[in-house]
Amino acid sequence: MPGGFFCVYGRGMRDRTRQQQAKSLELRATVSLARLWQQQGKRREAHELLSEIYGWFTEGFETKDLQEAKTLL
């Protein structure tokens, strides 16, 4: 199959991008929820939830979402 390797590689990259976008969206939603919980006095619950999601990331710490998450932690 001509270009087979690149087709498979391209699909893998596309899937990884989708996965990363999903993680970013989940982080953003979790930051919002953690902020709300902190305002409601549920600081421990907010920290536990946000620290789990924050731990997924190994790069991109300069992004607004991850910086905001770190501030909340």
* Three-state secondary structure of the chain: CCCHHHHHHHHHHHHHHHHHHHHHHHHHHHHHHHHHHHHCCCHHHHHHHHHHHHCCCCCCCCCHHHHHHHHHC
In the structure, what pLDDT confidence band is assigned to residue 36 with cuts at 50, 70 and 90? very high
In the structure, what pLDDT confidence band is assigned to residue 1 with cuts at 50, 70 and 90? very low
Domain span holding position 62:
4-72
Q: Mean per-residue pLDDT for 42-60?
A: 93
Give the residue with greater pLDDT, 22 vs 9: 22
Q: Mean per-residue pLDDT for 35-64?
A: 93
Whether residue 14 has pLDDT greater than 50: yes
How many domains is the chain built from? Answer: 1
pLDDT at 22: 85
